[in-house]
Amino acid sequence: AMLTAACAKKLGMTPILILKKRGVTERKGNQLLEYLMDTDVRFMDTDSYDDIYTEMDRVGQASGKKYYKIPCGGSNAIGALGYVNCMQEIADTGMHFDYVCCAEGSGGTHAGVALGAKLFMPDTQVVGLMVDSDPFDVITTRIMQETAKMLELDFVPTVEDVHLVNMCGPGYAIPSPEGNAAIRMMAENEGLFLDPVYTGKAFAGLVKLAREGKFKPTDNVLYLYSGGAGGLFAIDIDLG
């Protein structure tokens, strides 16, 4: 949401963020950045995205202006196109990867990566590392199908194209011991900063798969770092 607001500001548009009143609501992390951008942020006490989308329509219609409704995580066909292009860019490097692993928070990233792999890296398996407990086998497949239709492809993705590992732990936006260990591991060894909501839990999933023998020693495995470091400064975590 923060990056969406930043892009809208850059393009001269007026962003209104309607968010679940869950997790971080204080002025820290991304909430601080949204405040600095003077973004209109509104919280709803609900667990239902349907409630959020209904409120988006109400606010948009009440404004009397043309409005565009962006779903959670930008997870629709248009949003997924960005990661289809991402996979084309990776393929254009000429490097081969046996696996690409990415965080799965609302389905759009995984959908775009998986569809892009089918198009440009057909020998690569994509693994979505779940940081929420939604039915991503259904959600990701649907977004892949919608994106394939938009691109007028001659095939229809199926649930067999979606590979998932549940790393949600105690719940969405609640740090997990495995995720915290992954954050520490990457900071100490690589100088890369993961976050406790998305990339930390997802990288912990990659470590889990490696320790379980999912990958052969000769496999090339790519971890798609999709941001979120602002969460380090918003959520209290025990890094040992």
> pLDDT by residue (tens digit) across 104-135?
999 999 999 999 999 999 999 999 999 999 99
Residue 233 to residue 76: CA distance in whole angstroms: 29
Task: Please report where in the chains the tokens 């060894």 appear, as a residue.
Answer: 189
> pLDDT by residue (tens digit) across 4-28?
999 999 999 999 999 988 777 889 8
Count of CB atoms within 10 A of residue 38's CB? Answer: 8
Count of CB atoms within 10 A of residue 57's CB? Answer: 11
pLDDT at 136: 96
For the cut 80, the answer to whether the pLDDT of residue 167 exceeds it is yes
For the cut 90, the answer to whether the pLDDT of residue 228 exceeds it is no
Query: What is the average pLDDT across 164-191?
Result: 95
The two tokens of residue 46 are 């609900």
pLDDT at 234: 82
Mean pLDDT (the chain) is 94
Edge to edge, what strands does the sheet with 99-104 contain?
163-166, 125-130, 99-104, 221-224
